[in-house]
Amino acid sequence: MATSPDMLAEIATAPASLAGPSGVLPRQDIRKLVHRGMVRSTSGAFSESQYQPASIDLRLGHKAYRVRASFLPGPNKSVAQMLADLTQDEVSLEEGAILEKNCVYVVELMESLHDLPATISAFANPKSSTGRLDVFTRLIADRSEAFDSVAGGYSGKLYAEISPSSFSIKVRKGSRLNQLRFRRRSSGQEEAEGFRVSDRELREVHRQTALVDGPATIRNGLLFSIHLGDAEGEIIGYQAQRFTDVIDVDRVSGYEIDDFWTPIPAKRGRLILDPHQFYILASKERIYIPPAFAAEMAPIDPAMGEFRVHYAGFFDPGFGVGAGGVPGSRGVLEVRSHEVPFLLEDGQVVGRLAFERMATEPDALYGAIGTSNYQGQALKLSKHFRS
């Protein structure tokens, strides 16, 4: 890839060292990775709006490969080698194209990694708007044995696996469906361990700065529960309709809710999930993520119910700050039951937040940048729908 003159100038003036405390890298440190050419783009340039407080948005490249099945390349193969065997069709994204629901696509991303330091690894997750559209998106790297994870020292291309579930979507070159985070570890830390805040530490954080707008239930992370209504008839969620039009992922506030979703009114504080149907619901708790931390929705114990409550569950530093600094945003939950109908009752624990320390606080928090679409949210669909 040819490096633009502007990028060469940035690299020449970049800080000499990437050393620092362990933890999730803030956006000013992600800029250092870009400036030093460790994160590159096929376009040679990055948009300012790609930089989130603790991650960078990834952009789709020019072509989608429709494949027979999801895959991991394993330690001895590249993604390109796997695509040569599994591709059924190639779709140009230059002018935009429709990705059909219940099909699997792989798209090479515009961003790639080059000589990532051995002490810095990368982790991906879908953007919030992607999860709320029920689009299953995962990152794949060459020679990887796990999705959404890139080991320290990696050099190579990055790919997005995309599988729309409820709605067919229209995407194009430059569309953003997932984002990449970076963790810096110390010499004594394992690559994927040692970052999560312990329950003891989390209780102390909550004592100093409230993480929820009530008592905090902390057990292997911060537990949260489901909100199913304070009054009969209150809209407590939405169920995806089965036969709808296509959604353009780059079209903000372009669609009527009733054309894609069925509102769910509160009924005696309970809701029975239909198997394989997709719901948008909200947490009972209002949440706040202090500037020195990031958080991620972690899988709940399967013994508590065979359902999933998140597809895009990363919370940036500063998410949820309300008036006077109190927790002000509910967690919006993307919910799907598995094989059997499942009864939820108001206040039932459905998930947990795992907290990680930032290496340093970001130079801009969630809510202070133009792409903070969900600050102060209650029950809220993705940004594509008119309020």
Nearest-angstrom CA–CA distance, 197 and 85 = 42
Per residue in 33-52, pLDDT (tens digit) is: 999 999 999 998 999 999 99
Q: Across residues 309-334, what is the average pLDDT?
A: 84
Q: pLDDT at position 301, please?
A: 61
Name residue, tokens 């515009």: 110
pLDDT number for residue 148:
95
Quote the pTM value: 0.91
Averaged pLDDT of the chain: 90
pLDDT at 300: 64
* 119-133 tens-digit pLDDT: 999 999 999 999 999
SS3 content of the chain, % helix, strand, coil (to 5): 15, 40, 50
pLDDT at 326: 84
- Reply yes or no on whether the pLDDT at 90 is more than 50: yes
CA pseudo-torsion sign 335, 371, 44, 314: negative
**Which pLDDT band, with edges at 50, 70 and 90, does 18 fall under?**
confident
Alpha helices per DSSP H over the chain = 5-12, 27-35, 79-86, 128-132, 199-208
The span from the CA of 381 to the CA of 368, in Å, is 21
**Residue 14: is its pLDDT beyond 50?**
no
Entry field: residues in the chain: 387
On whether the CB atoms of residues 290 and 205 are closer than 8 A, the answer is: yes
CB atoms within 10 A of CB 62: 14
Q: Starting at the edge strand that comes first in sequence, how are the strands of the sheet with 247-248 ordered?
A: 97-99, 169-171, 247-248
- Is residue 303's pLDDT more than 70? no
d(C-alpha 138, C-alpha 170), whole Å: 18
pLDDT band per the 50, 70, 90 thresholds, residue 312: low
With b for 16 or more beta-carbon neighbours within 10 A and e for fewer, the 86-96 pattern comes to beeeeeebeee
C-beta atoms surrounding 372 within 10 Å: 17
Token digits of residue 81: 């080698």
3-state secondary structure 113-136: ECCCCCCEEEEEEECHHHHHCCEE
**pLDDT at 3 (0 to 100):** 42
pLDDT at 387: 81
Q: By the 8 A CB rule, do 147 and 140 touch?
A: yes
Map out the domains of the chain with their CATH numbers.
17-184 (2.70.40.10), 199-357 (2.70.40.10)
One-character DSSP codes across 36-71: TTSEEETTS---GGGEETTEEEEEEEEEEEEESS--
The model's pLDDT over 157-186, given as tens digits with 9 standing for 90+, comes to 999 999 999 999 999 999 999 999 999 988
